[in-house]
A and B are shown apart, each in its own frame.
Chain A
Amino acid sequence: MSADLDLDRAFAGNPVPTWLRDFERRPYEALDGLLLGAARLGILSAAEPTDLLARWMDQLGDPFIGFLDTALATWIGRSWRTPILPGAAGSAALTAAAWIRAADTIASEVRLREAATELRHRLPSDRNFLAALGEGPSRDPEGRAWFAIARHQADRVLTPWWWRFCTLPPDEPWYHGVYGVQGLRGLPPPANEGAGFRIEVAEGLLRLADALAQRCDDGWLDQSAARAEVARIAQLMQRAFPFPERWAHVWVECRERGVQGDLARSWLDAVLPSVNVGPSSRRRPLPAVPQRRPDWQMRAQVIAGSLREHFEQTLPRATQLLDEQTEYAEKTGDSYNVVRTACSFASKIRHSHPTQALIWVELAQRFDPWNAYTWTTMATVLLALHRGEDAMSAAREAFVRFPDEPVASTTLADVLLKTGQFVEAEAQYRDTVSRFPANVVAHCGLGDALLKQEMAAEAEAQYRDTMAHFPANVVARNGLADALLKQGRAAEAEAQYRESLNQWPDDPIIWGGIGHTLIAQRRWGAAVEWLTTAARRFPADPFIRTELGVAQKGSDAGLENVARPGRQASPSATEAVEDPAAQPAATPAVELGLQPEDEESPQVPAANAQVPDLRTSDIDILVNDSFLVRRWLRAMASEADREVPGRLRQRARDLLERLAGARDHHADAAQAWALLSLEEGLRADGLTLLRQAVRRFPGSVRVRYALARVEREMAVLERKRLDKDTERTVVAPWKQLAVLEPRLAPVAWLGEGRAWLSLLDGAVAEGGARRAFAQLGRWVHEHRPADEQSATPGNDTAPHRREGVYAWYADEVQRTLFGGSPIRGRDDLADLQPLRDRMEPAIAAQLDGLEEQLVMREARV
């Protein structure tokens, strides 16, 4: 393709720039050269390529802009997902610069529509590609691409994205918040609003201020940086929408609502007009700022109460309510109501109307992908739709995003169990039990997983242990009965059920269980009699009805063999606790179209090595899966009386092969492959790959973390001594991690302390370890939940109560690394021996897991 620009006429006899001649002949190649800095520019060599394009667009106008638009669109299409462009001299930085130039050019000219469309088509679903090239706000191709898209919006489809940026979810760098506000600014006005002031832009600013204040409050962001960010964006937006009276109106109303925190309010007070008076406001009332409606909560409760029983009649009211809440969320970014309502409704009908439930839970997740409830509900809804693979994806994602939420952990285990992955389910339950020992669902689930593997004796022990700790839990008791039955101890099972019946006389599971044990004992008459009574009490219970049929048939024919699984072949402990009434009769996974129950199941990825064009979602699955498989291997390895099942090992090897095809193109895949290779004993290969990957994906926190970890592990294995070189390769990467992502400071301190101790030789290493662990100890002391702190002897300075993922993390670190002693400074670490003792392999593996959990959550790439 060539471009007819009629340059001689445009330049009226003056010399035509060489690059324009090149562009006229071969637009794509010329543009590629310009973006990468290889173009023939003569004396213009020192100019910024973006400046040159801006000048020429101004000077030459439409013909040039049209050809440039097409060339840019082609360039984006061809270059996407190429970590280092072929003409970039092997430099990720140059590749990043080329993307920034392309994005800034698109942002600067509204007529570059084709290129903008191409970028928009790719970015939202594959943003990690550009994120892996980023190195902070001054080299941020992803951010610049969002900015370009923000400037070219012809519809409001991206609205939830912009609100998400404004609220700074955990995996978003703080300097991306501005793109949320810019995105809202670039939205076409809603149909009923004209041009002029935009309330949603003002609301976006307010939300961002709060989100930045939260980062400051958590200790991850310097207050002066946050204040400057808010002030700058407020200035820019007031310049874009010069309506001081309207700004004042929004700000005054917001203050009256009292939703803004003190810190954010102090910043905004300094930059927003706050006096809502003026001649025009007295003449004409200003439009109201959108508000939550006070009746929403009540309506949601009423609708939820009747959805399951009267779905058709209730659906219009449910839709109406969600429409109102959606509209409010789109205008204000306040998605609390719509997310809560949509999840609640979806949860109510997930078994009876799973298709509608899915629509609602997707709505909730569109607004708030950082709400654990949306993910766990999504997983259960997908299970109900017999979409086992998708349910697994949602459950995995929930686990990675919410390591502090036991329900995310048990939901994953439950999905594994229901999709026939019993070994994995067992490992996941074991992991959950060790992290959340008070979680009864995990204890029961572990028994269930053992039972499914025909390990009835082990299951029995597990249920008995659970009953000892949770005597009031019916699921454990029923599980025990089932385990006894599986061992041919039907009479004992019956006795167990009958004991439970005293406590839970209205539990249909117990009623059905007793009938089942009677059948197993071939006590046909008793079974028929018992089940007939049970069927009268629970006429809708399919299991009881089925068992009654079996008993009657047995009674008639004197059947010998009735050894069939009981009701809770794969009981959902989670659901039993969550919503016992919603529990349908268990349907075998095979019937659900989920996972075949044999060990060599096709759900385990096939061992085909090369997957040349994996979708991003496929990569996400592989990466999360590899994270989990490593956790499961550790969980099983920690059981002294349990061999690591070959199935898990095979799964790890399969993943290694699948990831190998993607590791050069995806930062996540490189990190996952390297850490798996570590697990498989291929340390040198992992190290080599990561050293390359860190250059290829300079913005990937995950890759940097993996490299730091492998270097440390190699130092331990090779008994490396402390010198300048090992300090640079083993210790320094941990410090860099905190620079790249401040929220990973606890991981960086933990990793650095361990790195120092991994090196042989004396005082210097010990001093370094003491420094790093003291910082970590102080952080832990400040962030542990107050009730945990109060249990710490000698605690008299417990700060205000903390909660959430950092409180959980601090508590885990205290428990795993420091034990019972609070660490408030270096003086508490005079003797490092207790910490050295914690470096032994079993605890080190737990510490590895802790490091990685936060990295996986906080670092998107």
Chain B
Amino acid sequence: MGPFSTLNAAFASFLFRRGAAPQDELRFVARNFLLDEGIVLDRARSYEAAGAAANHADDASWQTFHRAYLLDAVNKPRPPGPGSMLDPEDSDHCAETFRHFDEASPFLMTDLGLDLIRTITLDFVRTMTGETLPSLRALSDRVARANCEGASGGPDHDALDAILEEWLMRVDGRPVFAGFWEDVKDLFGPDPDSDPAAWADELRDRCGLAHHDPGVLGPVPILVFRYPVRDVLRVRGTDRTARLLVAPTVLDSTHSPAFCPAPGSSVAGHTVELACHYELPRREVVHPPVDFRARHVLRVGEIKRPVPADLGAARGLHLVYLQERSTRPDYASTTDRDLL
């Protein structure tokens, strides 16, 4: 169990109560807070100081305080102008996620040439840039195809670079959730025409992106980036060849029912496989911001299949895997007895 199970009795009581309620997926979020062993004490105290670790009257109150904490402590505004490095001493601009990290983490030594993968919605880009969806989709698709052919520049690249720069100017310095290319590369052919038909649905399921649900949103257009670890913003005080990739915690993002924290001994997180395939869960990390560019665009696609209905089953399977992999047969046994 993580520090929130004991740090603040009122909050722990709220979490146990909320985690036991059968109503909806938010119960998994409460359980995650109890479970998460990756939260260092300083961060837990910061969360408490923000008023988020309390005996909330309802979900809305908790969510609001959680969002406020995120914006004040994690999704920091990016400093204006160019920045080549993130300074953990700079509390105005560095997310707490990267201010308290284990200097012995093996992920600091991740090969800079290793590729990561990140999925965002095209809506995220277009609402901040004023682009229309069809033109953005068409441009991104041309760039993705050109990238497959080894092109690294040209008018389309320039145009998409400008759009992505415009977008990133408006996005705060939030930690970036990413997977490893190695874990999903089988979903893609050598070019878009060779991809399996439902690669976008499959990618969503593997990466546990339950909030991309066409069942309630209609088809979700997505943009997939593939980029080397080298392109992640460096953190001051770390080696030139090191990049900060850490296991995500419940304090690094908004409440996500499809998230499940890794046992404390893990260096990476693992995504919950939404389709309940009992396969090796895919690794997931968070890292400092990346200046995404056209050259990073791997694919443009559309998620069409609704999220499988039983998130509880997916979580149950995921926890079984974690217990086996971490040799912690009791992991989550207190919080998720109903699923195990």
Contact = CB atoms under 8 A, between A and B. Distances in A.
Interface of A: 11, 14-17, 33, 36-40, 42-48, 50-52, 54-56, 58-59, 87-91, 93-94, 96-97, 104-105, 107-108, 135-140, 144, 147, 151, 173-175, 178, 182, 221-222, 224-225, 228, 231-233, 235-236, 239, 736, 739
A660 B213 CA distance: 50
A174 B158 CA distance: 23
A82 to B, nearest CB: 15
B220 A55 contact: yes
Nearest to A237: B162
Contact of A147 (B67, B92, B130, B254): B130
B32 to A, nearest CB: 12
B210 interface: yes
B130 A51 contact: no
A791 to B, nearest CB: 36
Given A38-B63, A45-B255, A50-B127, A138 B71 contact: no
B215 interface: yes
Interface stretch (B163-171, B181-189, B234-242): B163-171
B59 A136 contact: no
A232 B64 contact: no
B68 interface: yes
A108 B130 contact: yes
Given A36-B67, A136-B77, A147-B130, A51 B124 contact: yes
Interface in B145-163: 158-159, 161-163
A144 B170 contact: yes
11 contacts: A11-B216, A43-B211, A52-B217, A108-B127, A135-B77, A138-B77, A151-B130, A178-B166, A221-B81, A228-B82, A228-B165
B72 A222 contact: no
Contacts of A139: 77, 172
A75 to B, nearest CB: 16
A705 to B, nearest CB: 16
Given A104-B128, A136-B78, A44 B216 contact: yes
B31 to A, nearest CB: 14
Given A89-B68, A239-B159, A136 B211 contact: no
State the majority secondary structure of interface residues on A: helix
Interface string B211-246: 111011110100000000000000000000000000
A231 B60 CA distance: 43
B5 interface: no
B51 interface: yes
Contact of B60 (A33, A59, A232, A739): A33
A174 to B, nearest CB: 7
B121 interface: yes
Contact of B67 (A44, A54, A94, A135): A94
B248 to A, nearest CB: 12
A14 B217 CA distance: 11
B211 A87 contact: no
B24 interface: yes
B333 interface: no
User: Which 8 pairs across A and B sit closest by C-beta, in order of nearness?
Assistant: A235-B162, A37-B67, A91-B68, A93-B71, A59-B218, A46-B256, A38-B60, A47-B211
A232 B71 CA distance: 27
Interface string B62-92: 0111111001100001111110000000001
B81 A222 contact: yes
Contacts of B173: 138
Nearest to A139: B77
B151 to A, nearest CB: 17
Given A137-B80, A137-B169, A139-B77, A51 B213 contact: no
A94 B78 contact: no
A17 B216 CA distance: 6
Nearest to A173: B80
B127 A739 contact: no
How many residues of B sit at the interface, in one of the four size bands?
35 or more
Q: Which of B24, B67, B254 has the most CB of A within 10 A?
A: B67
Given A43-B210, A236-B166, 15 more contacts: A17-B216, A40-B60, A43-B213, A43-B307, A45-B26, A47-B212, A56-B217, A91-B72, A93-B68, A107-B130, A136-B78, A138-B173, A222-B81, A222-B82, A236-B163
Contacts of B1: none
A346 B126 CA distance: 47
B159 A14 contact: no
Nearest to B132: A108
Most buried by B among A43, A59, A228: A43
A37 B92 contact: no
Contacts of A52: 217
Contact of A232 (B79, B162, B216): B162
Nearest to B174: A138
Contacts of A739: 79, 92
Interface string B178-221: 00000000000000000000000000000000111101111010
A18 to B, nearest CB: 8
Contact of A42 (B25, B82, B130): B25
A733 to B, nearest CB: 11
Contacts of A236: 129, 162-163, 166
B170 A137 contact: yes
B253 interface: yes
Given A47-B211, A235-B161, A90 B67 contact: no
Contacts of A54: 123, 126-127
A137 B24 CA distance: 37
B257 interface: yes
B258 interface: yes
Contact of B80 (A33, A56, A108, A175): A175
Contacts of A55: 123, 217-218, 220
A48 B80 CA distance: 23
B301 to A, nearest CB: 15
B127 A107 contact: yes
A44 B211 contact: yes
B311 interface: yes
Nearest to B170: A138
B217 A97 contact: no
Contacts of B161: 232, 235
A59 B217 contact: yes
Contacts of A144: 170
B92 A89 contact: no
B81 A14 contact: no
Contact of A736 (B92, B169, B307): B92
Contacts of A56: 217
Contacts of B128: 50, 104
A107 B130 CA distance: 7
Contact of A43 (B51, B92, B123, B257): B257
A151 to B, nearest CB: 6
A51 B257 CA distance: 18
Contact of A175 (B64, B67, B169, B259): B169
B24 to A, nearest CB: 6
A231 B82 CA distance: 14
Contact of B255 (A46, A51, A178, A239): A46
A52 to B, nearest CB: 7
Given A51-B123, A89-B68, A91-B72, A43 B25 contact: yes
B68, B171, B255 — which one has the most chain A CB atoms within 10 A of its CB? B68
